[in-house]
Amino acid sequence: MANSNSRDANFWVFRDGRKKVCGRRVLRELLAALERLAQGVITLDSVITALMVAGELESALADSDSIGLSKVEQLTDGLAAMLGSQRPVSYLHALMEEVSRVPVPQEIVLSPAEGFAYYALHPLDFAILAEQTAGLRNTRLAVIGIRSIGTTLSAIATATCSQRGRSAERITVRPTGHAYNRSLQFTSPQLEWVRSQNTVSADFLVVDEGPGRSGSSFLSVAEALVAQGVSPDRILFLGSRPVDPAQLCAHDAVSRWNRFRFFHPPTHVYRRFSNHLYIGAGTWRNLLIDGQSQWPACWPQMERVKFLSRDKTSIFKFEGFGRFGDQVLHRDHCLAQAGFGPPAEAAGDGMIRYQFIPGTLLDATQVSHFLLEHIAQYCAFRRSEFSVPEEPSQVAEMFRFNLHQAFDIDWDFDPALLATKNPVLVDGRMQPHEWIRSKDGTIIKVDGCTHGDDHFFPGPTDIAWDLAGAIVEWNLDAAATEFLLASFHRLTGDDPRMRIEIFTLAYSVFRLAYCKMAKTTVLESDDEPILQSTIANYCAQAERQLLTLQHSSTQRTLPTLRVPNLSGVAD
């Protein structure tokens, strides 16, 4: 494998979260959120929930060029105007009536608003950013939102600027092409709008979350504007996080990005936790683990925002606004009632308060029949309680791609080997340090509500993914593995033995890819050697599993697998 940061960054770990859903169901969800507002239940959280759904529906209708788009746009704008005051706009009831009659397509495609779901992008913080940016120059503002989340953010920016007496209008666009090389072609109406705004020397605000790893979505919009005669000094990017242009992987990213000005929001809302201890970005390891040599690997930038209360009784963790947080809280209640997880409750602003469990983090030396039985019971519970409807999965394609990237192996296996008729929201974090032995001896699983449905792989999949995770992360030998699988079989009637080998390899290869990509973001930090050691471990695990599967392919119906020289893979 090439020993270069560019190669290490070229793995597939983020899954496509787009889903085809019933359009009328989304409309009903929106109308229910609006009804709560109309009945006087007007809180910041209830406004954000309605605004999120309106933005999602608007984005989907814009993508499908639906005739009801304009009414939903007006609703999104009205809800954005309610953010700061939490007072209903005068035309809310009229808009509700009109939107209820919008001819929504039978099926629409929704993409998760990652900033609202995973990365603690608070709408009020973005409103503050828009207000600060609008004050830089006394000009007309033309706001362009990059769908999907940019739809909602563009409404927030436009409403905020308008409320401050600035003339502001908005449109939304959808760049296309490879994720690292997006391009944008304005439609004829959009071209007319851009030219009219340019004629009056408007400043163009391009709004989206991110930038992501490439920055190409922002760049595609800006360069399309420049092609229409807009001066680069009148194009401003409003994103959600700091960015080092040198780390962007779009072609010629530094020189292209530096032509434009970029702004991201300060964190104002979460200052209510200023008297708490921040334990995000891997800093929780300082508190809970003695000695840096024992720290588990993490990807600091991808960790959720979280705080420990001063009295060390509660952990406040961002789990998402609206239905994102609601779904996480529902899963936590299920796990807590079954005795597997800590109790939790909603804490506002997308945060959930978890009870802090005093105790000892487990490690791989503490494997016992009692522990393995508990893990089997946990997996059996998830299989029963967190099953979801079957939908297309990219796990097989991800595995094939990362196997080639990591080991230069092109294995022509049947994707059905990694498919399932019973998909589950798996845990995805079966490492020993994710289990706590409390002071009364109870074993509690923490961090079990989020990762099965975030934007990383695997997404909904076979529960064999978690069984494989336990085998790999606890470094189980053959006897312990057999005990775990037999216990699970006894509890569920589902025998995973025939499929566990390929799931174990797929798990190891994914974690290898994840850590390889994480390492490129922490170079010359304390986390780099930790990740390098973890990468070496996953490589060793995968090598053994590859050899096992090579043998199995001669004994069963698996396609022949030829394993090349694997030396140097962990470099």
pLDDT of residue 56: 97
Q: Tell me, what DSSP letter sits at residue 417?
A: G
Confirm if 26 and 109 have CB atoms less than 8 A apart: no
* H helix intervals, 262-321: 284-288
Q: How far apart are CA 383 and CA 493, in angstroms?
A: 11
Rounded to 5 degrees, what angle do the CA atoms 280, 281, 284 make?
55
Confirm if 428 and 466 have CB atoms less than 8 A apart: yes
* DSSP secondary structure, 43-60, as one string: -HHHHHHHHHHHHHHHHH
Token reading at 498: 């025939």
Q: Tell me if residue 71 falls in helix, strand or coil.
A: helix
- What is the DSSP pairing of strand 19-22 with strand 306-308? unpaired
Confirm if 228 and 194 have CB atoms less than 8 A apart: yes
Confirm if 309 and 316 have CB atoms less than 8 A apart: yes
CATH assignment of 359-555? 3.90.1200.10
Q: How far apart are CA 228 and CA 142, in angstroms?
A: 14
Confirm if 113 and 455 have CB atoms less than 8 A apart: no
- Rg of the Cα trace of the chain? 25
Q: How far apart are CA 146 and CA 224, in angstroms?
A: 13
Element (H, E) at 435: strand 435-438
Is there a cis peptide before residue 458, judged by omega within 30 degrees of 0? Answer: yes
Direct distance between the N- and C-terminal alpha carbons of the chain, in angstroms, rounded to an integer? 8
Strands across the sheet with 443-445, in order?
359-361, 435-438, 443-445
* DSSP secondary structure, 455-520, as one string: SBS--SB-THHHHHHHHHHTT--HHHHHHHHHHHHHHHS---HHHHHHHHHHHHHHHHHHHHHHHT
pLDDT of residue 2: 37
Is there a cis peptide before residue 211, judged by omega within 30 degrees of 0? Answer: yes
Q: Where exactly are the structural domains of the chain? A: 19-110, 114-267, 273-355, 359-555
Q: How far apart are CA 229 and CA 223, in angstroms?
A: 10
Query: 483: buried, middle or exposed (CB in 10 Å: 19+, 13-18, 0-12)?
Result: middle
* DSSP secondary structure, 135-191, as one string: TTS-S-EEEEEETTHHHHHHHHHHHHHHHTT--EEEEEE--BS-TTS-B----HHHH
* Domain formed by 114-267, architecture: 3-Layer(aba) Sandwich (3.40)
Q: Which of 77, 50, 14 is nearest to 323 (CA)?
A: 50
Q: How far apart are CA 244 and CA 116, in angstroms?
A: 22
* DSSP secondary structure, 189-224, as one string: HHHHHHHHHHHTTPEEEEE-S---SS-HHHHHHHHH
CA within 13 Å, CB half, 134:
25
Beta bridge pairs of residue 445: 435
* Domain formed by 19-110, architecture: Up-down Bundle (1.20)
Q: What is the pLDDT along the chain (571 residues), one digit of tens a residue?
A: 334 456 677 899 999 989 999 999 999 999 999 999 998 889 999 999 999 999 999 999 999 999 899 999 999 999 999 998 877 777 788 889 999 999 999 999 999 999 999 999 999 999 999 999 888 877 899 999 999 999 999 999 999 999 989 999 999 999 999 989 999 999 999 999 999 999 999 999 999 999 998 999 999 999 999 999 999 999 999 999 999 999 899 999 999 999 999 999 988 888 999 999 999 999 999 999 988 999 999 999 999 999 999 999 999 999 999 999 999 999 999 999 999 999 999 999 999 999 999 999 999 999 999 999 999 999 999 999 999 999 889 999 999 999 999 999 998 889 999 999 999 999 999 999 999 999 999 999 999 999 999 999 999 999 999 999 999 999 999 999 999 999 999 999 999 999 999 999 999 999 999 999 999 999 999 999 999 999 999 999 999 999 888 776 655 555 655 555 454 455 5
pLDDT of residue 72: 97
Beta bridge pairs of residue 176: 183
Which CA distances in Å does 319 have to 1, 19, 108, 326, 454?
A: 36, 20, 25, 9, 10
Confirm if 262 and 210 have CB atoms less than 8 A apart: no
Confirm if 215 and 245 have CB atoms less than 8 A apart: yes
